[in-house]
Amino acid sequence: MRVVILGSGRGSNAEAILAAQQAGRLGRARVVQIFSDRPEAGILALGARFGVPAAFVDPAPFKTKLEGEGEARFIAAVSAAKPDLVVLAGFMRVLKPGFLNAFAGKIINLHPSLLPSFPGLDAIGQAYRRGVKVTGCTVHAVTTEVDGGPILDQAAVRVEPGDTLESLTARIHAAEHALLPAVIARLSER
């Protein structure tokens, strides 16, 4: 299964996927390309470290969504990699129907809450401020509804007495780093 990763930040989830691949824990999946919408994103440096092509794709003209010329550039770049699965690992743009239709049924996202609770931005902060006792992370199929696609799997993280936002965030990230590669491995065996 050919996997393309899209990300906007430092790439800790992409690194977990690539480390799982290197350790033989990604099933029949193989990451073939990494793309970022930010030329300075740390995720791009992972390419050289793990021997996977990594490239910036210009997302202009919008800052928070992918449509118009930017969407066309992303569709062309991702299509060229011939993916069986497109993994959004910290990709901070809302995908529009053009991209979703180009890769229908092939896009998954990792979200740092137990969906359907706390969709959208700052999910960990939302859960922390609400005072929930259990939060976590979700891998879901991507649809036109932001963080609303069918849930593929979840990992729960208990909020401990004395947790700070930082300590809770660190534990949720650790859960993400285990969950996302496991889901990809399972999908590769189908």
Would you name the residues annotated as active-site residues? 111
Amino acid at 80: A
Contacts of 21 (CB under 8 A, 6+ apart): 29, 30, 31, 50, 181
Amino acid at 117: S
Q: What six digits make up the tokens of 99?
A: 């991209």
Asked if 3 and 88 touch (Cβ cutoff 8 Å), the reply is no
Q: Which residues pair with 77 in a beta bridge?
A: none
Asked if 65 and 37 touch (Cβ cutoff 8 Å), the reply is no
Q: What six digits make up the tokens of 45?
A: 């440096």
Contacts of 93 (CB under 8 A, 6+ apart): 8, 37, 59, 62, 64, 65, 66
Q: How far apart are CA 177 and CA 180, in angstroms?
A: 6
Contacts of 175 (CB under 8 A, 6+ apart): 136, 137, 155, 156, 157
β 30-36/107-111 pair status: unpaired
